[in-house]
Structures are given as C-alpha cells and as structure tokens.
A and B are shown apart, each in its own frame.
Chain A
C-alpha cells in the first residue's frame, strides 16, 4: 500500500460532443465535479497535476495556490504518472490534497492545442516524411508483425471491439451502445489496413478529475476511499519504428511489473482490469505484457470471452476507448472506471471488485503508467 487514496473522482457532466465548452473549461467542469464529490473547494487543494493544458493556467483558472505542481505530459497515460507522482508527494509531505485534471476538446476542437512534431526532431526526420497521419497509421504499425509471428487472425482482432461493445451496451454514458458482431467490424470502413473503423477509438470531447489525499484522512470524506496499492511508470521511444520489439511494449512490462510488485499482489488477486485501448490490439499487448496471458495467447483469451461480461477477468468495462469515449488522452477515463468499480458504482458493475489494475499508454507505445487500486488498504 502507498498510504494514499482517491477521495474524489468525476468526469465532465457531459461526454461526447461538447462544442459549447473550451478545453480549459472541460478541465474545470471535471475538477468542480470531483471537488463536489469529495466535499472540497479549490481552497482545500494544495497540489495540482495536469497534461494538455499547463498546470499554471489551470491553477490560476481554478483559484488554487499549490505547494506542489506536476505537468508531466507523456500522452494519454500522463494521468497515471500524475497519480504516481502525487502518491510520492503526499507521502513525503510536499502537499496534502492533490487535484489531477484532464479535459480535451478532441472532437469539437474548441481551444485545443495540437501535437506538432518538429521537422528537426528525430520523428520529424525519420518518420513524418514517410506519410504517417496520426495514431491510426502509427499506433497500428506493429500489429501485422504480431499477427504473423503469433498467428492472430483478423477475426480475433475484431473480437476485441465486439467484447468491448458488449460492456458499452450496459453503460448509458457510452458513445456507442448497440451490440456488434465480428462481421460488423470486418465490414466497417478500412482506415489503415489491417485496421477497420470499429477497431479504432472514438474521437470525443470530455474530461475527468481525481482528488488524492492520505488514506488516514479518508473517513472525513463522503465517498468510500479507493486505496492506491501500487504504481509504476516508464517510457520507451517517441518513434513507433524504434520499439525494441514490435510485438510487445517495454514500457507496459516495466510499469506493470513495478506496480504489481509495489502493490504486493498476484495476477489471481486482480478482479478487474483496464487496458488503454486506443486501437483493438492494445488489450492484447497489455494482457501479455502484464503477464495475464502467455505470449501469443491473449487473442484466444479474449475470443473465448474471458474478458467479457461474466468472464474470469472483466476488462475495459466502461466500453473502452473503442466504445465509451476517447478524447485523445484516454487514460483519465480508464482511471475513473477503476475507481467506480472499486466504489461499486459502475454502470456495468463487476461483482466483488476488490482489486482493479489500470494500465495506460501514451504517445503511441512511447510511455506507460500503471495503477493498482484496492477497496482495502491491503
């Protein structure tokens, strides 16, 4: 255990298409909802972390005077890293109550900053000239290698999206709720072979925020505490072409194994799993790199419905980036779902969810953060 717990958690009031709010206000809307959830105001917050906007801008906008600031920005898993850094900051006395926010006008693009890659950067010199057009043509690049080396079929890749839609069908806030079949996925528009539209994440607007403090203060808050049992983080490379191994994420392995060791848990103790799914192959890489499946077996594991409702390892139970929502930096929504599952308030609630593991990815396979949550401090 870390001695730190989540005592406030919320998403933006709306999700999906929110053209009447700027990106900064999406941060603020989520932050205000999380403060209300914890029974706090900005005056009670003394630590702030965010990505996508500068922490200076956000602290000023919300009226926070922090003694601790973190602007770590490594893509969609930045918020996992913020949780990890906040745990250390709270434990060492640099602050007592940390607010972590995310907001992104991914669909409407209101007041959104871009992700330019400078022509003199390594990616700008050695990747961009060959025509990649954002994540659908970069994050997806390793998967044909995986398919050939481990015999994964197009149908198996499609099944990832089918199972997650099954979870989304139970979630009234999910962007897409209508159940789909493998054929539906394979008949959807080709985006970048071998990826079809339904194997790629949504593009939506939204936000989320978390409030962390010492677990021994948790009785002072209206919500039951969600204890942070263990954390991990790592980075690998800003260039998809330079991954150590096209069939595995080194950052997943480092962050995941550290978090599980830190938490002192075995795989069998994990009741609920979130694996950041910007594209359909990510849960397959995640299951293997975390050690829930042996190399080459995760596609079968998903095909056999082990991660589906009623399966032994419920995964991406909000519907994931493929069906729930995906603003661009999805990690915050994975964290929110882990918190809801441990609190027992998820729309598709898993029975006896006592330990939830949440794995994030950022900048294609560039970075990873992993958080283990528990109902008990352990």
Chain B
C-alpha cells in the first residue's frame, strides 16, 4: 500500500522516542507517575494534571475500531478507496491510523472490531503504526498492565 508519496512525520525532541519505538516495532505511550493518566500524542508532561513526572511504556498494541471514513478521492500513496480510521487503544488513548489486511468497505470495517498493531516501513527512518483485524480473541489475551 505504501509508496514514497505518503506524507512523513518529522519527529521533534518531544516525540523522538515514539518514532524510535515504532522503528523497534513497539507502540510507546506515556503515563503520568502522579495521577496515572495515560495519554497520546507524546509530550513531556501530563495534560491531565500538568506534572512533569511521566514515564514511557510499551502499549499492548491492541485496539478497537472507534470510527472511520472511506476516502473515495485519489491519494498518491493509496491504491483506490482507503479508510482513514480512529482506533481506541486498550490503554485509553485514541489515534488516527489506517486499517490493513482488511477490505476497505463498510461491510468489512465494523465499529468496535478488535484490532492489533502492525508496523509499516515508509522511509528509512520511519515505521508507521497501522492496525489489522485481531487474530486472537481479546478475552484470551493477558491484561495490559503486564505488558510494560
């Protein structure tokens, strides 16, 4: 799906760890050590309580499909209509992504379907976190707290 024409993120000092994480095929979130709030996108302080005492941890990579549109207009980086999706991560934050290994149709893309992260190399330095329909039923998976 990916061609060189996909717009690429330019990491900043505050987000560098996230993109290093995706290069290592880890989805990194941040959590406040004061109020325990988990948040995204990255910043070196807690947007809930303003504490600077935060830690980085690896998310489970599990999510559910929160909403999407299927763009019909041609985009140079995509072949045919493609879904721009919002997914709710198991840890709480929501993120924008694309859904892979799945037909880009309303029938195939059911809201709340379980998903799991994939990492797609889009340039030498950047792997993007994309999501695919989960292969394992969520009930059989260990709780998120054990994954850090």
Contacts and interface: CB of A to CB of B under 8 A. Distances in A.
A133 B69 contact: no
Contacts of A138: 84
A235 B105 CA distance: 33
B40 to A, nearest CB: 8
- In the complex, which range does the number of interface residues on chain B fall in? 35 or more
B92 interface: no
Given A122-B41, A131-B77, A246 B86 contact: yes
Contact of B67 (A132, A145, A189, A239): A145
Which residue of B8, B67, B94, B98 has the most chain A CB atoms within 10 A of its CB atom?
Answer: B67
A241 B69 contact: no
Could you tell me the dominant secondary structure of chain B's interface residues? loop
A120 B84 CA distance: 20
Contacts, number: 113
- In the complex, which range does the number of interface residues on chain A fall in? 35 or more
B84 A131 contact: yes
Top-9 shortest CB links A-B: A125-B9, A119-B10, A193-B70, A145-B67, A241-B96, A192-B69, A120-B10, A128-B7, A144-B67
Contacts of A127: 96
Given A193-B106, A241-B96, A246-B66, 9 more contacts: A120-B11, A125-B41, A131-B75, A131-B98, A132-B84, A136-B73, A192-B71, A193-B81, A240-B96
Contact of B73 (A119, A133, A142, A143): A133
Contacts of A145: 66-67, 86, 111
A33 B119 CA distance: 56
Contacts of A118: 10
B11 A125 contact: yes
A122 B95 CA distance: 12
Interface in B46-74: 66-73
Nearest to B68: A144
B68 A141 contact: yes
B101 to A, nearest CB: 16
A126 B95 contact: yes
Contacts of B41: 122, 125-126, 239, 242
A241 B66 CA distance: 10
A136 B73 CA distance: 10
Contacts of B72: 189-193
A115 interface: no
Which residue of B81, B82, B84, B94 has the most chain A CB atoms within 10 A of its CB atom?
Answer: B84
Interface in B72-127: 72-73, 75, 77-78, 81-82, 84-86, 94-98, 106, 111-112, 122
Interface in A235-251: 239-242, 246
Given A125-B41, A241-B95, A130 B128 contact: yes
Interface string A328-358: 0000000000000000000000000000000
Contact of B8 (A119, A190, A242): A119
Nearest to A128: B7
A70 to B, nearest CB: 28
B7 A141 contact: no
30 contacts: A120-B10, A120-B11, A120-B12, A122-B15, A124-B7, A128-B7, A129-B122, A130-B84, A130-B97, A131-B6, A131-B71, A131-B78, A131-B98, A132-B96, A133-B75, A136-B73, A137-B71, A141-B84, A142-B86, A145-B67, A191-B72, A191-B73, A192-B70, A192-B72, A192-B84, A194-B106, A239-B41, A240-B86, A241-B95, A246-B67
